[in-house]
Amino acid sequence: MVLRGIVRCLVAVLVQGVVCANLASAEPTIGVDVDGNLFINSSSSGGDARLLLNGVDVIQELADLRRLYAGRTTTASTTTVPTTASTTTTASTVLTTTTAPANTNVTHFGTVGCQLENVPSGVTHIQGSFLLDECVQLRSTDLLIFSKLVYVSGNFRIYSFYSPRQFNDAVTNVDGLKRTLTVGGFFSLGYISGLVDINGLANITSIGGVLNLASNDDLINVDGLSGLTSIPGNVCLNDNNGLINIDGLANITSVGGDVSLGYNRKLTNVNGFQSLTSIGGDLGLSHNEALSNVNGFASVASVGGDLLCERFKQQSRLFPQQNEQH
């Protein structure tokens, strides 16, 4: 009964519309079939006659949404292992938020390697690892395709041990990674000569494993890591010849594994560890020839393993009153 009333009402309203439509062309129709389904058809002989509901061209809107949705599906299908889950998520976002397709998540399934053309544009999530190992042509600007990346479920590494130095100088910064928040596994940057700073990483607040920065000859500081507050695994900062300070670690309060700082020839202090209160494993400080004090460890209340150190500058003065603490 109620339904019939609504139908009548719609018909009454639309009859007025029909009058207008008739002026332009022939035969828009409204009908009800035996099952009670209501059919409203705009004129078919007038070219592109529209069907307006409260002034909204609903057919056109639907077509636009379908196109948008199709675009997102195409993007998703370029992922290495697309699943229905990503498509569903994207679709529902597009259909409910027509103004903001740019805010949808784009997930890459599988490991990201040197073949960056396999990465969907606007990628926000990597369900897998990010391992740019020995990517000889890699440049800082290539990393811009990750400018919306917020999440890596697995490990993260940019590493270039075997490639000749000249190829790697093209990665001078990691600004393309500035949205990255979370890395589920280890985080490692190694043998990237030419890398001067990692300020582009300032949004990383969480890593799930080891923090490893090794043999980056030109790296001056680690300021980009100031968002990190705890490291579940080891912290390895070895053989960074240009490293002047590690102040960027100042928010780290605990390290689950070892802290290994060695062969950083220009490092004069470890003040960056001023907030560190506990180290789960060993503390190793070897061959830092410019290191004149370790006051930065003043807050460390417990070290789970051994204290390993040799070859400091002014070695005898390194631990003046801190031996009791360690």
Ligand X SMILES: *[C@@H]1O[C@H](CO)[C@@H](O)[C@H](O)[C@H]1NC(C)=O
Where along the sequence are the contacts to ligand X (CB under 6 A)?
29, 31, 39, 41, 89, 93, 105, 150-151, 178-179, 202-203, 226, 250-251
The whole-angstrom separation of Cα 176 and Cα 200 is 7
Say how far residue 325 (Cα) sits from the centre of its chain.
39
Minimal distance in Å, beta carbon 128 to ligand X?
Answer: 15
90, 105 in Cβ contact below 8 A? yes
Helix (H, G, I), strand (E, B) or coil at 97: coil
The residue (of 116 and 202) whose beta carbon lies closer to ligand X is 202
Minimal distance in Å, beta carbon 166 to ligand X?
Answer: 28
Nearest to 225 by CA among 247, 208, 242: 247
Minimal distance in Å, beta carbon 289 to ligand X?
Answer: 26
Helix (H, G, I), strand (E, B) or coil at 64: helix
The residue (of 27 and 142) whose beta carbon lies closer to ligand X is 27
What type of residue sits at position 165?
R
- Count of CB atoms within 10 A of residue 142's CB? 16
The whole-angstrom separation of Cα 285 and Cα 238 is 10
The residue (of 29 and 315) whose beta carbon lies closer to ligand X is 29
Residue with nearest beta carbon to ligand X: 226
Judging by DSSP bridges, how do beta strands 130-133 and 156-159 pair with one another?
A: parallel
192, 160 in Cβ contact below 8 A? yes
The residue (of 140 and 286) whose beta carbon lies closer to ligand X is 140
Minimal distance in Å, beta carbon 134 to ligand X?
Answer: 27
* Strand residue runs (E) in 256-325: 259-262, 278-279, 283-286, 302-303, 307-310
The whole-angstrom separation of Cα 108 and Cα 196 is 29
The residue (of 79 and 163) whose beta carbon lies closer to ligand X is 79
The residue (of 59 and 114) whose beta carbon lies closer to ligand X is 59
Minimal distance in Å, beta carbon 31 to ligand X?
Answer: 4
Read off the tokens for 44: 């078919």
Minimal distance in Å, beta carbon 107 to ligand X?
Answer: 9
Minimal distance in Å, beta carbon 291 to ligand X?
Answer: 20
Minimal distance in Å, beta carbon 37 to ligand X?
Answer: 10
The residue (of 24 and 181) whose beta carbon lies closer to ligand X is 181
CA angle 146, 152, 155 (to 5 degrees): 115
The residue (of 137 and 277) whose beta carbon lies closer to ligand X is 277
The whole-angstrom separation of Cα 306 and Cα 230 is 20
